[in-house]
Each structure stands twice: as C-alpha cells, then as structure tokens.
Amino acid sequence: MKKMLILSALLLIPAFAILIATQNPEEKPAGNLVPVTQDAFGAPFTLTSHEGEKFRSSDLSGQYQLIYFGFTYCPAICPTELQKITATLNALNPEIAAQIQPVFITVDPERDTVKVMRDYLTLFHPSFLGLTGTQEEITQVLNDYKVYAAKVDDPSLTEYTMDHSSYIYFIDPEGRLLRLYKMEDTADYMVRDMTDWFKART
C-alpha cells in the first residue's frame, strides 16, 4: 500500500522521477558536476521559523541549502536523515559547512507547531532552521518542491502517521537543485560529494 502510494505519486511527476532515476551515486566524479536543474528549484514561499518568526525563501538566497521534508513524530526515517545532515555538516571542512544552511520543513503542520519544531531541533545540528506554517502554506511548498506526503490512519496506533517521500535536497545559492540525496546515501558519501562541488567551483 505504501509503495503503491509512493509509486503513484512519482508517476504524477514523471520528469522528476526520471531525474531521480538518473542519479547514480557511483558515477559522480569531481569537477564534472552538473546541477539537476538549470533554473531555481521550487517556488518562493513564506513560512514560520522554529523561533516563531516569518521566514521567506528569499532569506535563503545566496546560501547553499540542505533541505529535508519530514515530521517530528516520525519514528525512524526522519530522525535518521536529520542526523545524517548533522553528521555531514560536522564532518565537512568547517569553511564549507559554514556556507550551508540546513533546513527542516514539516509535512505535518497540524502537530508540528513552532514549539514542537524548536524542541525537536535541539536534537540536531545547531544551525538547523525549522519551518512550519498553515496546512495551506505547507501544501503549496510540498507541491512546489515535488514532495509527496499523506496522512495515514494506522488502526494499531492512537495517532495518525505520515507517509512521505524522503530526499535531502542540496541547493546552491542561485536556488538550483544540485543533488537529491537518497536514504541509502551515507553521510560519508555526502561529505565526499559535496566537497567535490566546492572543489570544482574554486
């Protein structure tokens, strides 16, 4: 059921699915790096930060970004991926890490309030920015960033859970999507791959 949902979501966005399919981690030599998109990825948004401030996507321009979409109640995958971003930032050359803004955008704004986001992010890298918003605002951002997310009622649980796609988006200061890191990409791999990006540009 879960797989079918994810598959049908990908079929709705075939171009994006092809982009994902053509990302082969074994074939990424340094200095031969082509962005996934030539234009800015996503679309402008205004959300609310984990500090309760209005936050515009334009506040991120000029910065590299590692963006992850998930939810704080996620039992396993989201914390693993956020920990992976944390480990990557800690292992990168500090001069490179300082240029990268990690961002966690909730797919579950109903439960992920400002306070819940703020408390949750204390578990991860201190530079993390958490973003939440109204259901309408979040739905728009999910559509613009090609994120699949759906509420799932599990009769064995007292609370609902969220089924969602899981990619780490590596975005450059011009807003172009450089990479989609997958769950099987390790922090070590991300460090090597991102270091190659910065080497190729200097």
Residues lying near Ni ion in the complex (CB under 5 A) are found at: 70, 74, 77-78
Cβ closer to Ni ion: 42 or 70?
70
For residue 160, the Cα-to-chain-centroid distance in whole angstroms is: 22
Cβ closer to Ni ion: 162 or 187?
162
Q: Which pair of structure tokens corresponds to residue 27?
A: 């074939």
Kindly state the smallest distance separating residue 74's Cβ from Ni ion, in Å: 3
Cβ closer to Ni ion: 65 or 72?
72
Cβ closer to Ni ion: 108 or 172?
108
- Report the residue closest to Ni ion, judged by CB: 74
Kindly state the smallest distance separating residue 28's Cβ from Ni ion, in Å: 26
Q: How many whole angstroms separate alpha carbon 111 and alpha carbon 122?
A: 17
Q: Identify whether the C-beta of residue 182 lies closer than 8 Å to the C-beta of residue 46.
A: no
Kindly state the smallest distance separating residue 39's Cβ from Ni ion, in Å: 28
Cβ closer to Ni ion: 67 or 78?
78
Query: Half-sphere exposure (CA, 13 Å, Cβ side) for 4?
Result: 1
Q: How many whole angstroms separate alpha carbon 202 and alpha carbon 200?
A: 6
* Cα-only R_g, the chain: 16
Kindly state the smallest distance separating residue 108's Cβ from Ni ion, in Å: 9
For residue 84, the Cα-to-chain-centroid distance in whole angstroms is: 11
Kindly state the smallest distance separating residue 148's Cβ from Ni ion, in Å: 12
